[in-house]
Protein backbone atom coordinates (compact mmCIF):
# COMPACT_ATOMS: atom_id res chain seq x y z
CA UNK A 1 0.00 0.00 0.00
CA UNK A 2 1.23 3.53 -0.68
CA UNK A 3 2.57 5.69 2.10
CA UNK A 4 0.20 8.57 2.88
CA UNK A 5 0.57 11.62 5.09
CA UNK A 6 -2.67 13.45 5.73
CA UNK A 7 -3.48 17.13 6.11
CA UNK A 8 -6.46 19.17 5.02
CA UNK A 9 -6.77 19.02 1.23
CA UNK A 10 -8.10 21.59 -1.25
CA UNK A 11 -11.77 22.45 -1.58
CA UNK A 12 -13.62 22.12 -4.91
CA UNK A 13 -12.79 24.93 -7.32
CA UNK A 14 -9.55 25.81 -5.55
CA UNK A 15 -6.83 27.14 -7.85
CA UNK A 16 -3.22 26.58 -6.83
CA UNK A 17 -0.13 28.31 -8.20
CA UNK A 18 2.60 25.75 -8.83
CA UNK A 19 6.08 26.06 -10.28
CA UNK A 20 9.02 24.05 -11.53
CA UNK A 21 12.22 25.79 -10.50
CA UNK A 22 14.64 25.44 -13.41
CA UNK A 23 17.92 26.12 -11.64
CA UNK A 24 21.43 24.78 -12.00
CA UNK A 25 23.61 23.01 -9.47
CA UNK A 26 27.26 23.55 -8.57
CA UNK A 27 29.03 20.20 -8.58
CA UNK A 28 29.74 18.97 -5.03
CA UNK A 29 29.19 22.44 -3.49
CA UNK A 30 26.38 21.87 -1.00
CA UNK A 31 26.57 25.31 0.70
CA UNK A 32 26.27 27.15 -2.64
CA UNK A 33 23.40 24.91 -3.78
CA UNK A 34 21.59 25.29 -0.47
CA UNK A 35 21.89 29.07 -0.67
CA UNK A 36 20.45 29.09 -4.19
CA UNK A 37 17.63 26.74 -3.15
CA UNK A 38 16.61 29.07 -0.33
CA UNK A 39 16.76 32.09 -2.69
CA UNK A 40 14.51 30.39 -5.25
CA UNK A 41 12.05 29.35 -2.56
CA UNK A 42 11.73 32.99 -1.49
CA UNK A 43 11.39 34.13 -5.11
CA UNK A 44 8.68 31.55 -5.73
CA UNK A 45 6.68 32.52 -2.68
CA UNK A 46 6.93 36.20 -3.61
CA UNK A 47 5.41 35.23 -6.98
CA UNK A 48 2.48 33.57 -5.23
CA UNK A 49 3.70 30.00 -5.73
CA UNK A 50 2.32 27.49 -3.22
CA UNK A 51 3.92 24.27 -4.52
CA UNK A 52 7.48 24.35 -5.88
CA UNK A 53 9.42 21.46 -7.45
CA UNK A 54 13.22 21.72 -7.82
CA UNK A 55 15.59 19.53 -9.88
CA UNK A 56 16.99 16.10 -9.07
CA UNK A 57 20.10 16.10 -6.86
CA UNK A 58 19.98 19.88 -6.73
CA UNK A 59 21.68 20.17 -3.33
CA UNK A 60 24.65 17.95 -4.19
CA UNK A 61 25.16 17.78 -7.93
CA UNK A 62 24.77 14.64 -10.00
CA UNK A 63 27.67 13.84 -12.36
CA UNK A 64 29.87 11.80 -10.04
CA UNK A 65 32.38 9.19 -11.21
CA UNK A 66 32.30 6.73 -8.32
CA UNK A 67 30.66 5.89 -5.02
CA UNK A 68 33.83 7.04 -3.25
CA UNK A 69 33.46 10.48 -4.85
CA UNK A 70 29.82 10.73 -3.78
CA UNK A 71 30.07 9.66 -0.16
CA UNK A 72 31.78 12.83 1.19
CA UNK A 73 29.19 15.04 -0.54
CA UNK A 74 26.03 12.99 0.10
CA UNK A 75 23.72 14.24 2.85
CA UNK A 76 21.93 12.78 5.82
CA UNK A 77 18.23 13.30 5.14
CA UNK A 78 17.82 14.28 8.80
CA UNK A 79 20.83 16.58 8.58
CA UNK A 80 21.17 20.38 8.81
CA UNK A 81 20.82 21.07 5.07
CA UNK A 82 17.40 19.43 4.76
CA UNK A 83 16.43 20.99 8.10
CA UNK A 84 17.30 24.44 6.71
CA UNK A 85 15.00 23.87 3.72
CA UNK A 86 12.26 22.60 6.04
CA UNK A 87 12.58 25.71 8.22
CA UNK A 88 12.34 27.96 5.14
CA UNK A 89 9.28 26.07 3.90
CA UNK A 90 7.64 26.57 7.29
CA UNK A 91 8.51 30.27 7.40
CA UNK A 92 7.36 30.93 3.83
CA UNK A 93 4.23 28.79 3.94
CA UNK A 94 5.51 26.89 0.89
CA UNK A 95 5.40 23.21 -0.09
CA UNK A 96 8.69 22.35 -1.81
CA UNK A 97 10.22 19.22 -3.34
CA UNK A 98 14.03 19.04 -3.31
CA UNK A 99 16.53 16.44 -4.51
CA UNK A 100 19.90 15.31 -3.20
CA UNK A 101 22.23 12.34 -2.86
CA UNK A 102 21.47 10.72 0.50
CA UNK A 103 24.17 8.92 2.50
CA UNK A 104 23.12 5.81 4.41
CA UNK A 105 26.19 4.21 5.98
CA UNK A 106 28.43 3.18 3.10
CA UNK A 107 25.70 3.50 0.46
CA UNK A 108 24.02 6.40 -1.33
CA UNK A 109 20.44 6.89 -2.55
CA UNK A 110 19.07 9.37 -5.07
CA UNK A 111 16.41 10.97 -2.87
CA UNK A 112 13.61 13.51 -3.11
CA UNK A 113 11.94 15.04 -0.08
CA UNK A 114 8.68 16.99 0.06
CA UNK A 115 8.64 19.59 2.84
CA UNK A 116 5.95 22.00 3.94
CA UNK A 117 4.35 23.98 6.75
CA UNK A 118 3.35 22.22 9.93
CA UNK A 119 6.08 19.62 9.62
CA UNK A 120 4.63 18.24 6.38
CA UNK A 121 7.16 15.78 4.96
CA UNK A 122 7.51 12.79 2.66
CA UNK A 123 10.71 11.00 1.59
CA UNK A 124 11.26 9.01 -1.60
CA UNK A 125 14.30 7.10 -2.89
CA UNK A 126 14.56 6.74 -6.67
CA UNK A 127 13.30 3.34 -7.73
CA UNK A 128 14.39 3.03 -11.38
CA UNK A 129 18.02 3.77 -12.26
CA UNK A 130 19.55 4.57 -15.67
CA UNK A 131 23.23 4.23 -16.50
CA UNK A 132 24.02 7.92 -16.04
CA UNK A 133 25.89 10.11 -13.56
CA UNK A 134 25.40 9.27 -9.90
CA UNK A 135 22.73 6.70 -10.74
CA UNK A 136 25.48 4.31 -11.83
CA UNK A 137 26.57 4.01 -8.20
CA UNK A 138 23.54 4.66 -6.00
CA UNK A 139 21.41 1.98 -4.36
CA UNK A 140 17.90 1.48 -5.75
CA UNK A 141 15.05 2.53 -3.51
CA UNK A 142 12.66 -0.26 -2.56
CA UNK A 143 9.95 2.04 -1.24
CA UNK A 144 6.40 1.54 -2.38
CA UNK A 145 4.78 4.52 -4.14
CA UNK A 146 4.94 7.58 -1.90
CA UNK A 147 1.88 9.85 -1.76
CA UNK A 148 1.30 12.84 0.48
CA UNK A 149 -1.88 14.83 0.99
CA UNK A 150 -0.97 18.50 0.96
CA UNK A 151 -3.23 21.56 1.20
CA UNK A 152 -2.91 21.70 -2.61
CA UNK A 153 -3.88 18.13 -3.47
CA UNK A 154 -2.40 14.65 -3.23
CA UNK A 155 1.17 14.64 -4.53
CA UNK A 156 2.92 11.51 -5.83
CA UNK A 157 6.72 11.45 -5.89
CA UNK A 158 8.89 10.26 -8.76
CA UNK A 159 12.40 11.11 -9.95
CA UNK A 160 13.56 11.49 -13.56
CA UNK A 161 13.87 7.97 -15.10
CA UNK A 162 10.89 6.76 -13.06
CA UNK A 163 8.70 8.59 -15.58
CA UNK A 164 9.67 6.13 -18.32
CA UNK A 165 7.82 3.37 -16.46
CA UNK A 166 4.04 3.63 -16.94
CA UNK A 167 3.47 1.19 -14.08
CA UNK A 168 4.98 3.63 -11.59
CA UNK A 169 2.87 6.60 -12.63
CA UNK A 170 -0.22 4.39 -12.73
CA UNK A 171 0.43 3.17 -9.17
CA UNK A 172 0.71 6.78 -8.01
CA UNK A 173 -2.53 7.67 -9.80
CA UNK A 174 -4.36 4.62 -8.43
CA UNK A 175 -3.17 5.65 -4.98
CA UNK A 176 -4.96 8.97 -5.41
CA UNK A 177 -2.33 11.35 -6.81
CA UNK A 178 -3.70 14.59 -8.23
CA UNK A 179 -0.19 15.77 -9.10
CA UNK A 180 2.89 13.72 -10.00
CA UNK A 181 6.10 15.64 -9.34
CA UNK A 182 9.27 14.71 -11.18
CA UNK A 183 12.56 16.34 -10.16
CA UNK A 184 14.89 15.44 -13.02
CA UNK A 185 18.30 15.82 -14.61
CA UNK A 186 17.39 15.32 -18.28
CA UNK A 187 20.53 15.27 -20.47
CA UNK A 188 20.42 15.75 -24.24
CA UNK A 189 19.47 12.10 -25.04
CA UNK A 190 16.27 12.60 -23.01
CA UNK A 191 14.64 15.04 -25.44
CA UNK A 192 11.81 12.57 -26.11
CA UNK A 193 11.00 12.33 -22.43
CA UNK A 194 10.45 16.08 -22.27
CA UNK A 195 8.48 16.08 -25.52
CA UNK A 196 6.30 13.00 -25.00
CA UNK A 197 6.49 11.11 -21.73
CA UNK A 198 5.37 13.92 -19.47
CA UNK A 199 2.27 14.52 -21.59
CA UNK A 200 1.43 10.84 -21.95
CA UNK A 201 1.81 10.09 -18.24
CA UNK A 202 -0.46 13.03 -17.45
CA UNK A 203 -3.11 12.09 -20.02
CA UNK A 204 -3.17 8.33 -19.46
CA UNK A 205 -3.70 8.86 -15.72
CA UNK A 206 -5.63 12.16 -15.91
CA UNK A 207 -3.26 13.87 -13.44
CA UNK A 208 -1.11 17.00 -13.41
CA UNK A 209 2.63 16.50 -13.94
CA UNK A 210 5.28 18.97 -12.75
CA UNK A 211 8.78 18.22 -14.07
CA UNK A 212 11.73 20.34 -12.90
CA UNK A 213 14.95 20.06 -14.87
CA UNK A 214 18.09 22.16 -15.12
CA UNK A 215 19.43 23.98 -18.16
CA UNK A 216 23.08 24.27 -17.17
CA UNK A 217 26.08 21.98 -17.62
CA UNK A 218 27.89 19.86 -15.04
CA UNK A 219 31.29 18.28 -15.73
CA UNK A 220 30.76 18.53 -19.49
CA UNK A 221 27.27 17.03 -19.35
CA UNK A 222 24.69 19.53 -20.68
CA UNK A 223 21.09 19.42 -19.45
CA UNK A 224 18.20 20.40 -21.68
CA UNK A 225 15.91 22.44 -19.45
CA UNK A 226 12.33 21.99 -20.71
CA UNK A 227 10.86 22.12 -17.19
CA UNK A 228 7.10 22.02 -17.49
CA UNK A 229 3.64 21.86 -15.95
CA UNK A 230 1.21 19.52 -17.75
CA UNK A 231 -2.55 19.30 -17.20
CA UNK A 232 -4.61 16.07 -16.98
CA UNK A 233 -5.37 15.95 -20.70
CA UNK A 234 -1.71 16.35 -21.66
CA UNK A 235 -1.68 20.08 -22.42
CA UNK A 236 1.54 21.95 -21.62
CA UNK A 237 0.44 24.80 -19.35
CA UNK A 238 3.93 26.27 -18.92
CA UNK A 239 7.45 25.38 -20.02
CA UNK A 240 10.88 26.88 -20.68
CA UNK A 241 13.90 26.10 -22.80
CA UNK A 242 17.24 26.33 -20.96
CA UNK A 243 16.74 29.68 -19.23
CA UNK A 244 17.06 29.63 -15.46
CA UNK A 245 13.96 30.66 -13.57
CA UNK A 246 10.48 29.68 -12.46
CA UNK A 247 8.03 27.87 -14.75
CA UNK A 248 4.69 28.89 -13.25
CA UNK A 249 1.09 27.79 -13.83
CA UNK A 250 -2.22 28.00 -11.99
CA UNK A 251 -3.98 24.65 -11.69
CA UNK A 252 -7.17 23.24 -10.16
CA UNK A 253 -5.93 19.99 -8.57
CA UNK A 254 -9.32 18.43 -7.91
CA UNK A 255 -10.09 18.34 -11.64
CA UNK A 256 -7.67 15.39 -11.80
CA UNK A 257 -9.99 13.21 -9.73
CA UNK A 258 -12.63 12.57 -12.37
CA UNK A 259 -11.36 9.59 -14.35
CA UNK A 260 -14.55 9.30 -16.42
CA UNK A 261 -14.27 11.58 -19.44
CA UNK A 262 -17.39 12.38 -21.45
CA UNK A 263 -17.60 14.44 -24.64
CA UNK A 264 -21.36 14.61 -25.42
CA UNK A 265 -20.95 16.49 -28.69
CA UNK A 266 -18.77 13.70 -30.06
CA UNK A 267 -20.80 10.84 -28.56
CA UNK A 268 -17.57 9.78 -26.82
CA UNK A 269 -16.79 8.60 -23.28
CA UNK A 270 -13.95 6.74 -21.56
CA UNK A 271 -13.41 5.41 -18.03
CA UNK A 272 -9.68 5.39 -17.38
CA UNK A 273 -9.77 3.42 -14.15
CA UNK A 274 -13.04 1.50 -14.06
CA UNK A 275 -12.40 0.32 -17.62
CA UNK A 276 -9.23 -1.47 -16.55
CA UNK A 277 -9.12 -5.32 -16.53
CA UNK A 278 -6.33 -6.10 -14.03
CA UNK A 279 -6.98 -9.87 -14.07
CA UNK A 280 -5.62 -9.88 -17.63
CA UNK A 281 -2.43 -8.01 -16.75
CA UNK A 282 -0.46 -10.80 -15.07
CA UNK A 283 2.35 -10.32 -17.56
CA UNK A 284 3.18 -7.02 -15.83
CA UNK A 285 4.67 -8.97 -12.92
CA UNK A 286 6.90 -11.19 -15.06
CA UNK A 287 10.30 -10.41 -16.56
CA UNK A 288 10.40 -10.86 -20.34
CA UNK A 289 12.24 -13.80 -21.80
CA UNK A 290 15.25 -12.21 -23.49
CA UNK A 291 16.69 -15.50 -24.72
CA UNK A 292 17.58 -15.34 -28.41
CA UNK A 293 16.25 -17.83 -30.97
CA UNK A 294 19.77 -19.23 -31.32
CA UNK A 295 20.03 -19.81 -27.56
CA UNK A 296 16.63 -21.51 -27.49
CA UNK A 297 17.75 -23.83 -30.30
Active-site position among 50, 57, 102, 160: 160
Given a cut of 70, is residue 6 above it in pLDDT? no
- The residue from 50, 56, 102, 218 that is catalytic is 56
pLDDT given for residue 295 in this prediction: 62
52-97 pLDDT, tens digit per residue, is 999 999 999 999 999 999 999 999 999 999 999 999 999 999 999 9
Q: How far apart are CA 137 and CA 169, in angstroms?
A: 24
Average pLDDT over residues 265-288: 89
Q: Is 195 a catalytic residue?
A: no
pTM across the whole model: 0.94
**Could you tell me the domains of the chain?**
3-258 (3.60.110.10)
Is residue 160 flagged as an active site residue? Answer: yes
All residues at 6 or more sequence positions from 163 whose CB lies less than 8 Å from its CB, including other chains: 169, 182, 184, 193, 197, 198, 201, 211
Q: Mean pLDDT, to the nearest integer, of 118-132?
A: 97
Whether 56 is catalytic is: yes
Q: Is residue 150's pLDDT more than 70?
A: yes
The span from the CA of 277 to the CA of 26, in Å, is 47
Mean pLDDT of the chain: 94
7-21 tens-digit pLDDT: 467 776 689 999 999
Indicate which residue of 57, 126, 171, 218 is catalytic: 126
In the prediction, which pLDDT does 293 show? 62
Amino acid sequence: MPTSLSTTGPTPGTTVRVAAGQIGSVFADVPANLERTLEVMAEARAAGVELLVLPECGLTGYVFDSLADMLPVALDREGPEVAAVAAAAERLGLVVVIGFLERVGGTVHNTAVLLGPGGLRADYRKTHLPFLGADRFVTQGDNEPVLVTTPYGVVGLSICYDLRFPEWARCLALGGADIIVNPTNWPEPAQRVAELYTRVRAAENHVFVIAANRGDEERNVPFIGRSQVIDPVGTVLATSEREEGLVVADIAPLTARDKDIVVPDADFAISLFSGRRPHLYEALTRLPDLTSDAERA
